[in-house]
Structures are given as structure tokens and as C-alpha cells.
Amino acid sequence: MTTTTIIIITITIITITIIIIAVLGVLALAVGRVMAYKKRRAKCPLTSDNSSELSEKLDPEPQG
């Protein structure tokens, strides 16, 4: 192998390593955001059923 070939292989390996690290970082951020979203959602779930109940509790209609 010539020196040029070794340099090209080394640069390629470094580039692939950087790309893998970047992909893992983006994946970790995405998983973290999903976990935070699920945690927030578990504290205050909003479905169509309980959101109508909540709006009735906050703004009751006049009775009679």
C-alpha cells in the first residue's frame, strides 16, 4: 500500500466514525424528546372525553 492509499483509508474511517457519532447523537436527542413527551403526557393526559369534562368544570353552564 502506498502512503496515499493509507491516508485515504484513514480519512474515510474518520469520516465514517464522525457520521456514526452524529447519527447516534441525533437518535439520542429524538429518544429523549419522545420520553419527555410521554412523561408530560402521563402527568396530564388530554383526550376528547376528559377535555370536555375539564372545560365544563372550568366554565359551568348556568343551571336554569
In a domain, 53, yes or no: no
In a domain, 1, yes or no: yes
d(CA 62, CA 56): 11
In a domain, 4, yes or no: yes
In a domain, 50, yes or no: no
Q: What is the pLDDT of residue 31?
A: 94
Cell of 46: 388530554
Looking up cell 408530560, which residue turns up?
40
Length of the chain: 64
| Per-residue pLDDT reduced to its tens digit, 5-63 | 999 999 999 999 999 999 999 999 999 999 988 888 777 655 555 555 556 656 656 66
Q: How many CA atoms lie within 13 A of 50 on its CB side?
A: 4
Q: What is the pLDDT of residue 40?
A: 81
pTM: predicted TM-score of the whole model, two decimal places: 0.56
Q: What is the pLDDT of residue 59?
A: 61
